[in-house]
Amino acid sequence: MTALFFRDLRLSVRAGGGALIGILFFLTVVAIIPFAVGPDLKLLSRIGPAIVWIGALLASLLGLDRLFQAERDDGSLDLLVMQETPLVLTVFIKCAAHWVATGLPLVIASPLLGLFMNMNETAIATTALTLLVGSPALTFIGAVGAAVAVALPRGGLLVSILVLPLTIPVLIFGVSATYAAVEGPQPFLPPFLILIALTLFFAVLGPAAAALALRNTTD
């Protein structure tokens, strides 16, 4: 499992630019917002957490279609399905490696983009914290779409269509927790705990559903 983790980590970084492409797309999405809404610093600081979350969500969709594509292309997907190690665990490890390569850099880059959106220290810290907790859920959800679309042409577009509606609860509670910490009087803890619960829920459901889809694909 350790070898699989580092192998997938290397593949995620090398394939298509990996983390660099995600960060550049993240930067692009956030950077164009001030040009659209104008130089109103108060407005930028108010919508900043939501924009950073939306940018991270869209950036996280970029590499999802490649989660199982390398194994599909070289024929090793059948070996992963037939090996003694439970396929659910294998999918979980692949999701963890994918998040470290593509999701974690977005979390690290979010404070810089928070400054770009004129967010204060509390908003920047809370946004980074909610992204750290919530962004793994996006990967686990995306694994299901990637497994369903792995054998289909133009699967990348299909993954985005399948995954995006399922990520809405994560987006809602991630942004809600940030605004609760910054503006109040709503407490920060309830939406933050729900965000953690969503990540744990999809950490169980996502790999299981993706494993089932992969088994049906190879049958």
pLDDT digits (tens, 9 = 90+) for 125-177: 999 999 999 999 999 998 888 888 776 665 566 777 888 889 999 999 999 99
Alpha-carbon torsion 28, 94, 152, 161, what sign?
negative
Task: For residue 57, give the nearest of 157, 142, 143, 124 by alpha carbon.
Answer: 142
The Cα–Cα gap between 109 and 146 comes to 25
Average pLDDT, the chain: 83
Task: For residue 52, give the nearest of 73, 26, 34 by alpha carbon.
Answer: 26
What is the reported pLDDT for 131? 95
Span of 5-14, 23-32, 82-91 with lowest mean pLDDT = 5-14
* Residues 30, 52 contacting (CB under 8 angstroms): yes
The Cα–Cα gap between 180 and 203 comes to 25
Residue 163's domain comprises 1-218
Given a cut of 80, is residue 218 above it in pLDDT? no
What is the pLDDT averaged over residues 2-8?
70
The Cα–Cα gap between 96 and 145 comes to 16
Span of 80-84, 93-97, 137-141 with lowest mean pLDDT = 80-84
pTM confidence score: 0.86
If one counts the domains in the chain, the total is 1
The Cα angle at residue 206 between residues 200 and 211, in degrees rounded to 5: 140
What is the pLDDT averaged over residues 11-18?
60
If you ran DSSP here, which 8-state letter would residue 219 be given?
Answer: -
